[in-house]
Structure 1
Amino acid sequence: MSKRWKCHFDIDKVENVGEKYFECLIYGKLIVIALMTAVFSTVFAVMFREQRRLLSMLKFFKNLREKSEILLTSLHNVRGNAIKLYDAFVDVIGRSLDEKRKRKTTQQVLMEHNIPEIVLQMLA
């Protein structure tokens, strides 16, 4: 997964900057990755439990980044923008679903067993 994060979050693309600025950039990107991974694992577990569908982590990150401006704007005024925030998040989830397959993946087979939700979140 670290190769994907490097590519998706442009961790390897840092211009010639000072040591402290470089550390801030790296730590900032790692914090964003940690937050997005926490959100993804929760959504992943809920989607599988309720719809038996898998989410693609890379699609989820990509779609979440595309909607980030709408999501951040909506968070500033949650009451007034609750519907817009909800719609944007539902769109991110819908666009992040893995394609349906005739044959089940190993991940789907494992997840069909009666596994506690916390373990499902760890599998994501």
Structure 2
Amino acid sequence: MKLNGIHHVAIICSDYEKSKRFYTDILGLKVINETYREDRKSYKLDLAVGDKYQIELFSFPKAPKRPSYPEARGLRHLAFEIDSIEQAIKELTDKNIAVEPIRIDEITGKKFTFFSDPDDLPIELYEKYI
């Protein structure tokens, strides 16, 4: 089997409208497609991350809560590559998003930090690896 890349990351949210605003207005992701599935009482929102990747944002009635911190078992976090960590942090804090202090990757020497989405999903910003 040859894997060509990651097609998408799927996220189930607790408040669809709040998460939709966060991913589109705060993070600036572009809506590719939005579908309401009456039989499931569920939305599916396809979001573009750059020109190569996608996030699928789902809403399901009464979705169970999941532990959400970087060291919990399962998906650890969602990470986005950025050009300037300082500029990204400024943009987030200007929108009242709390951001952790900058850390340095001990292996690559690159800067990174974490913040959370409306459901406390850990999101990492990682400075471009050159």
Q: TM-score, normalised by structure 2?
A: 0.24
| Larger helix proportion of the pair | 1
Name the structure with the higher strand share.
2
With normalisation by structure 1, the TM-score equals: 0.24
**Structure with more contact order per residue of length (Cα contacts < 8 Å, sep ≥ 6):** 1
